[in-house]
Structure 1
Amino acid sequence: MKYWLLLLWPLATLQAYAQPEQMPLDDITSRRLQAEERQLPYPPVREADILWEQRVWRTIDTREKINLPFRYPEAPLVSILLEAIEAGELRAFSPASESFAVLMEAEELQQLLYREDTIPVYDFDLGREVYQVVQDDFDPASVVRYRLKEQWYFDSRSSSLQVRILGIAPIVEDRDEQGHVRFEQPLFWVYFPEARQILHRMPMPQDGTYHSPMSWADLFEMRKFASHVIKVSNIQDARLEALYTGRELLLKAEQAEENLFNREIGHWQH
């Protein structure tokens, strides 16, 4: 019997090595609660309950300290959105319209993300330089700002000021050969109510220790980001920078922010 065990031992060892190796868990337990939990839908809003409303556009600068999670190297927000778009879970809308009326074609998005360039390459067989077309991969770090489109309204049913984020767009800068910024433009628009469930599954990076993890959806709905107003709905459909400059532009942006929060107090006083 002992000899049989000696003969079977190498076979059992080989079978164990032949089985797929299980990779170690980089945690103390598997995290499935956040991925399996469903995001609650928005409560319905009756048109008759809206006493006041205003469209607001704002910019999030990821270089500010509170906004550093947007630039998390392992999973920046733009990479999360792009992966969902490429997987067919999320739709990308053209930046030509902010009303989510024009869908972006896959080829159009690829041209924006992966640009082709021509560089000289020395061909040793020919003994001279030849030009070769190369494709530049998209760098998530090139997105330094995000643009939000919001709807602020006073709900008479709850007697409170509410806000709904309608859309979010990553912003990239177009630079000349000297590296100077010529203009900035959105890569694409994402309809935020469609992205809520996807963002709810993705944990938001946090510094230090924390008791309960937060998702990207929590960050937006709890307003844990810094931003400044660049436009409010007006009859000219113009941004603040088109109407004001310098110090007056900063004051008007702050005033627009204060008007939003004073709106609720004004309704209560009246």
Structure 2
Amino acid sequence: MNWKKISTFIAFSAISLGSYAQANLLNARSADEIGIKDLAEIVAESEGPIPYGRVSDRDILFGMKVWETISLEEKVNAPYYFPTEAIAAEGRKSLFQVLIDGIKSGDLDEVYGDSDFKKKRTLKDLESAFTRIDTTDAGRDFYNAGEKIPDEYIVREELQPHHVKEYHIVGMWFFDRNQGELKYRLLGICPVVPDIYTLGSENENLVELFWVFYPGARELLFRNYAFNEKNPMKPINFDHMLNSRRFSASIYKTDNVYGDRRIDDYIQDNSMRQLLESERIKESIRNLEDDMWNY
């Protein structure tokens, strides 16, 4: 047992008791004891997320990468959207805020420009994507006159959790011959937001803000919790939610001979047919496991 890791986690827990406002609620003898976790819970959480098992390439009988959209307009995906403002009393933040705060603090550095995960992006690279600084008409008058623009004429706008429309994820479905079953491994996640320069206009242009290589974000997501509608006393960390696929998603792209061509590239201007094609791909993946056992 790693006691150094546990002691560090205990210190972290003591600092952030507000994050667990309902812990020890029924056993507390005074209000000050609410939020204090017992040693067993601290030890269990200090271990971090369950590590992925190693999968040898030669043990993968079949594998297919799929890209999916998690629409935040669907009620079942609400835990990834809310709260739109951090709830200090419970220490809860939306998934988007967790990712942004992780990037700003340096806890999350596995950030890339696309789902190929080849070109890394830094905080400096991203600032122009989620922050816009502009001046009012009165401020431009100062600028044209060669004078310093007063702060009250400078407008700073930053993307907020309520601006996120959906998430794109990429993962692999594969058949592991050692386990004899079909499995899924999440590889990346990306918030989709309106372009900061079209934000609030009639024709908002949705863009992929950045891609996070998921295995490098697991520790951060493990430490942050979403609201559990089925049992509010037991919040679920984002790592568990995503790995257990607690969301509704539709496939928009998959491995194919045309270079990972998107569904809406070959089925255009027909949302129903696009949805049916997405369901067809899902069904073909589900049938893979049954087909493996047919001789």
Where do residues 126-205 of structure 1 align in structure 2 (5 Å cutoff)? 132-174=153-195, 175=198, 178-181=201-204, 183-205=205-227
Q: Does 1:113 align with 2:130?
A: yes
Distance 2:223 2:235 in 1: 11
**Aligned amino acid, residue 280 of structure 2:** Q
Following superposition, the deviation at residue 250 of structure 1 comes to 1.6
Q: More displaced, 202-211 or 44-53?
A: 202-211
Indicate conservation of the 8 Å contact 2:228/2:234, yes or no. Answer: no
Q: Secondary structure at the match of 2:170?
A: strand
Identify unmatched segments of 5+ residues in structure 2.
1-15, 26-34, 87-92, 143-148
Cα pair 2:112 2:213 within 8 Å, conserved: no
Answer 1 or 2: which has greater strand percent: 1
Structure 1 segment 1-270 matched on structure 2, within 5 A: 26-27=21-22, 28=25, 29-31=35-37, 33=42, 35-73=45-83, 74=86, 75-95=93-113, 97-121=114-138, 132-174=153-195, 175=198, 178-181=201-204, 183-207=205-229, 209-210=231-232, 212-237=234-259, 238-245=261-268, 246=270, 247-270=272-295
Superposed displacement of residue 92, structure 1:
4.7
SS at match of 1:80: helix
Long gaps (5+) in structure 1: 1-22
- Distance of 2:139 and 2:69 partners within structure 1: 45
Distance 2:179 2:139 in 1: 70
Residues 110 and 216 in structure 2, CA contact (< 8 A), matched pair in contact too: no
CA 1:184–1:36: 2 relative to 1, 3 Å = same
**What is the CA distance between 1:135 and its match in structure 2?**
1.5
Question: In the comparison of the two structures, how many residue pairs are matched?
Answer: 242
Q: Alignment partner of 2:111: what SS?
A: coil
C-alpha RMSD of matched pairs (Å):
2.6
Percent identity between the aligned chains?
26
Larger Rg: 1
Give the TM-score of the pair, scaled to structure 2. 0.75
- How far apart are residue 258 of structure 1 and its match? 0.8
Secondary structure at 1:197's aligned position in 2? helix
How far off its partner does 1:229 sit? 0.2
Say which SS state the counterpart of residue 121 (structure 1) adopts: helix
Alpha-carbon deviation of 1:207? Answer: 2.3
Deviation by residue 1:155-201 (Cα, 9 ceiling, x = unmatched): 111110011111000001234774123x3211111110011121111
